[in-house]
Structure 1
Amino acid sequence: MECRPGCGACCTAPSISSPLPGLPHGKPAGMPCPHLDAALRCQLFGRPERPAVCASLQPHADMCGGDRAHALRWLARLEHATAPT
């Protein structure tokens, strides 16, 4: 499955605990990654600076659904379910 143009949900909803350029302590859930461009595309895609967790998250019909709102909700539930207690 290809990423949906204009989505960027996977770069917004999840937290990132590993360092990335400009965010040495990662990013909190719900915060858009500062490496998203105006079209919501990752500017680190394919570059070595891209965190491994980002590269490992692959688009899937269940996650992406029919629109960005679905993907944001799905990923927010996953973030909540996997958050440390």
Structure 2
Amino acid sequence: MNCREGCGACCIAPSISSPIPGMPHGKPAGERCVQLSEHNLCSLFGQPERPAVCSGFQAEVDTCGNDRDEAIRIIGWLEQVTAA
């Protein structure tokens, strides 16, 4: 599965513990990444500053569902059930 252009669910729903330019302490779950554009595109895509966890994310139907809203729900749920 390819990422849906303009989705951005993976840049909003999960927490990211590694530093992100503009967010040196990462970001909490449910908070929009500062690198996510108004069109829900990552401004760090393909850049070395992009966190490894972001570069390593692979879109899958089980994670991303059928649309952006479903992706936010699924990723948010996964965040809650795996939070330490």
TM-score by length of structure 1 reads 0.93
1:18 equivalent to 2:18? Answer yes
Alignment pair present for 1:42 and 2:42: yes
Root-mean-square deviation (Å): 0.8
Q: Counterpart in 2 of 1:79? A: 79
Q: Quote the offset at 1:57 in angstroms.
A: 1.1
Q: Percent identity?
A: 60
Q: Deviations over 1:19-64 (max 9, x none)?
A: 1101111000000111111210101011111011111111001111
Partners in 2 of 1:5 and 1:17 — Cα distance?
24
TM-score for the superposition, normalised by structure 2? 0.94
Runs of 5+ unmatched residues, structure 1: none
Ranges in structure 2 where 5+ consecutive residues have no aligned partner: none
* Residues 1:8 and 2:23 aligned together: no
- Segments of 4+ moved more than 6 angstroms: none
Q: Distance between the aligned counterparts of 1:52 and 1:81, measured in 2?
A: 22
Number of aligned residues: 84
Residue 66 of structure 1 corresponds to which residue in structure 2? 66
